[in-house]
Amino acid sequence: MTKTPSLYFQTHVFCCENRRDPGNSKGCCASKGASELRNYMKDRCKELGINDIRINSSGCLDRCEFGPTMVIYPEGTWYRYDTKKDAEEIIQQHLLLGRKVERLLLP
């Protein structure tokens, strides 16, 4: 019987940092502060000693009109987040307590 290896990370957070031309009707997450927000989340998780969660930069997640956006796996929960306060709420509620942040969920 083959033994299933343990996961290296329990959770992956993919934060869109895609760039589009300034005239694109969808806009882009990068122009809405996505990199700063992702960096905040990464630094904050490190500060909190959360070692089994990976905060990743992502190319286009194709939800830019809502941006900045992220998706959290393995459950596949999609969020929009505009401020560090939003990012902190996702860290505290979703990543630490396993509760979805209803007000930030994407449709």
Instruction: Please indicate whether residue 64 or residue 106 has the higher confidence score (pLDDT).
Output: 106
pLDDT of the residue at 4: 67
Residues 86 and 81: their CA atoms lie apart, in Å, by 5
Tokens representing 30?
């990068």
Q: Mind listing the pLDDT tens digit for each residue in 4-27? A: 677 788 999 999 998 888 887 777
Q: Decide: 38 and 17 in contact? Cβ < 8 Å.
A: yes
Taking 80 as the threshold, does the pLDDT of residue 3 lie above it? no
Q: Name the residue type at position 25.
A: S
Q: Mind listing the pLDDT tens digit for each residue in 32-47? A: 899 999 999 999 999 9
The pTM of this model reads 0.89
Classify strands 11-16 and 53-58 as parallel, antiparallel or unpaired: parallel
Q: What is the mean pLDDT of residues 79-92?
A: 97
Tokens representing 21?
């031309």
Q: Decide: 54 and 68 in contact? Cβ < 8 Å.
A: no
Instruction: Please indicate whether residue 38 or residue 31 has the higher confidence score (pLDDT).
Output: 38
pLDDT of the residue at 80: 96
Q: Is the peptide bond before 107 cis (omega within 30 degrees of 0)?
A: no
**Which of 5-19, 40-54, 66-80, 89-103 is predicted least confidently?**
5-19
Among candidate residues 51, 43, 53, 52, the one with its CA nearest the CA of residue 87: 43
| Averaged confidence pLDDT in the chain | 91
